[in-house]
Amino acid sequence: MNPSNYLKIKNQIPSNVNILAVSKGFKSQEIKTIQNIGQNDFGESKFQEAFEKQLKLKDLKQIKWHFIGRIQSNKVRKIVQNFKYIHSVDSFEKLQKISRISCEEKKNPFIMLQVKLSDDPSKGGFRPELLVSKWSQIQELKNITLKGLMTINPRGLSSKENSELFKKCRSLADSLQLQDCSMGMSGDWEEAIDSGSTWLRLGSLIFGDRS
């Protein structure tokens, strides 16, 4: 891992676009190195792996943890207790559960709702029509702060196809008056910026290849 990669990217992106450093598969020491040069938002996709790093890094109070992985129902409480942001809320039922548990835990996590904009069977998320039809019920849920939408594009798309899906996500977020779009990874972050991303989720581009 090479800190200058991080600084190079940081200097290329507009100031209204945030970097989420996706540290899954990397060690707490590597998180520390990046945190030391000014990165405070870190994303993890597996609860247990994340929790071990959170314990090791608990003295670094500036770190904000983001959960970006598939949410198992039996892990909701732990996720709510230990993460400020949840990017990967992929169904109304899970959102209801997060809301109920956040009330019990006196938390108020920042939420991104994952949307499914293509037919990729490996990706979950709200279908746009469903999201729109449930929107008034979603807005009534307590102890969650709806920040935006999240999407993961299928692999292997052309640059133009990536942009089209990202723009769909942006316009859906705009129509719901949501500020954030969590979109763009190491392979498609430039298209994501051009399409209105506010959170790039970057793993390998910052940390190097995962073994």
Ligand X SMILES: *Cc1c(COP(=O)(O)O)cnc(C)c1O
Min dist CB 135 to ligand X, Å, is 23
**Nearest residue (CB) to ligand X, 45 versus 197:** 45
Element (H, E) at 16: none
Min dist CB 84 to ligand X, Å, is 17
**Nearest residue (CB) to ligand X, 64 versus 100:** 64
Q: Cα dist. 31→37, 52, 67, 79, 126 in Å?
A: 10, 13, 15, 19, 31
User: What are the residues binding ligand X (CB under 6 A)?
Assistant: 22, 24, 45, 68, 152, 185-187, 201-205
**Nearest residue (CB) to ligand X, 125 versus 203:** 203
The amino acid occupying position 187 is G
**Nearest residue (CB) to ligand X, 127 versus 210:** 210
Min dist CB 67 to ligand X, Å, is 10
Min dist CB 53 to ligand X, Å, is 15
Tally of CB atoms within 10 A around 1: 14
Name the residue among 104, 89, 198 with its Cα closest to residue 145.
89
Min dist CB 74 to ligand X, Å, is 20
DSSP string, 58-120: TT-TT-EEEE-S---GGGHHHHHHH-SEEEEE--HHHHHHHHHHHHHHT---EEEEEB--S--
**Nearest residue (CB) to ligand X, 114 versus 163:** 114
3-state secondary structure of 10: helix
**Nearest residue (CB) to ligand X, 111 versus 202:** 202
Min dist CB 152 to ligand X, Å, is 6
Task: Let me know: does 169 contact 183? Beta carbons within 8 Å.
Answer: yes
> Which residue's CB atom is positioned nearest to ligand X?
203
